[in-house]
Amino acid sequence: MKPVSEPASRAPFATPPEKGGAPAGAPVQGQGTHRHLLMSRPPPVIRVAILDDHPVVALGVGAYLESRPGFQLVHRETSARALLEKLAHAPCDVALIDFYLPLEPWDGVNYLRRVRRYHPTMAIITFSAGNRLETQYAAYRAGANGYLAKQWGMILLPDMIRGVISAKAPFLSVHEGKIRGLLPPAPHSLLTASEVEILRHISQGLSVTQIAARLVRSKKTVSTHKRRAMRKLQLADDLSLALYLREKFAG
């Protein structure tokens, strides 16, 4: 993943459901806005593409949408590259993209920006079982139009798809069980200057002991700042912290 510029375990939905160059045959559609073009109303049939590296999830989400009126499933993929190649030949109105694809050459911010560059008018919804606060902000900055956590289930998915197609809000998420047009706050805006400083040093590969020596602080103080920062960012463990640091501080 590439860092987000300024501004817990994987789980399926409740119902079972830039490295390298451009993919072969993928046309670059010019320098477009990060948001898709406004439409007066959703099309009669909304063409949908799904990408999830868990085949069961991709199958379940696709089956659910096909059972709902007004949706046509055009692509159902488990490969990031395959989805880009398929979209080049058969565009869609909206793509549902899993944020974390650890076994793929691209995922997260890197992949969303790539999809947005090739398909500037297509709506993008990111879904993930990862940390909501960090992931939805990263997705928004990368050009996504909506975020749906997998633990919220699929019942809200049709309305969210129609919402991002209508483009009545720049970004849709779920708050108190309802789809709302809310811009996600930057997770790092919750941190104090000392906590940001500690995280920056951690992102450089320094241990708590090394940071304490460099900043002339006690190891206990450094550990406390680290722990408070992780709590504010809703990061449960060091692996989640490492993923966050790659997005925010690396590079």
Task: Give me the residue label for tokens 């500037």.
Answer: 120
pLDDT at residue 16 in the model: 39
CATH number of 187-248: 1.10.10.10
Task: Give me the residue label for tokens 């779920």.
Answer: 174
- pLDDT digits over 190-205, tens only? 788 788 888 888 988 8
Q: How confident is the model at residue 8 (pLDDT cuts 50, 70, 90)?
A: very low
pLDDT at residue 113 in the model: 92
Q: How confident is the model at residue 56 (pLDDT cuts 50, 70, 90)?
A: very high
> Class assignment of domain 46-181?
alpha beta
Task: Please count the other Cβ atoms lying within 10 Å of the Cβ belonging to residue 166.
Answer: 15
pLDDT at residue 2 in the model: 39
pLDDT at residue 25 in the model: 45
Which ranges in the chain are annotated with CATH 1.10.10.10? 187-248
Paired residues of 175 in beta bridges = 178
Q: How confident is the model at residue 130 (pLDDT cuts 50, 70, 90)?
A: low
Mean pLDDT of 219-246: 87
Q: How far apart are CA 103 and CA 249, in angstroms?
A: 22
Task: Please count the other Cβ atoms lying within 10 Å of the Cβ belonging to residue 23.
Answer: 18
Burial 96-111 (b: 16+ CB within 10 A, else e): bbbbbbeebebbbbbb
Asked if 135 and 107 touch (Cβ cutoff 8 Å), the reply is: no
Which ranges in the chain are annotated with CATH 3.40.50.2300? 46-181
Least confident piece of the model among 9-18, 63-72, 125-134, 184-193: 9-18
Element (H, E) at 56: helix 55-66
pTM for the model stands at 0.63
Does the pLDDT of residue 27 top 50, yes or no? no
Mean pLDDT of 50-65: 93
Q: How confident is the model at residue 11 (pLDDT cuts 50, 70, 90)?
A: very low
pLDDT at residue 98 in the model: 93
Mean pLDDT of 54-83: 94
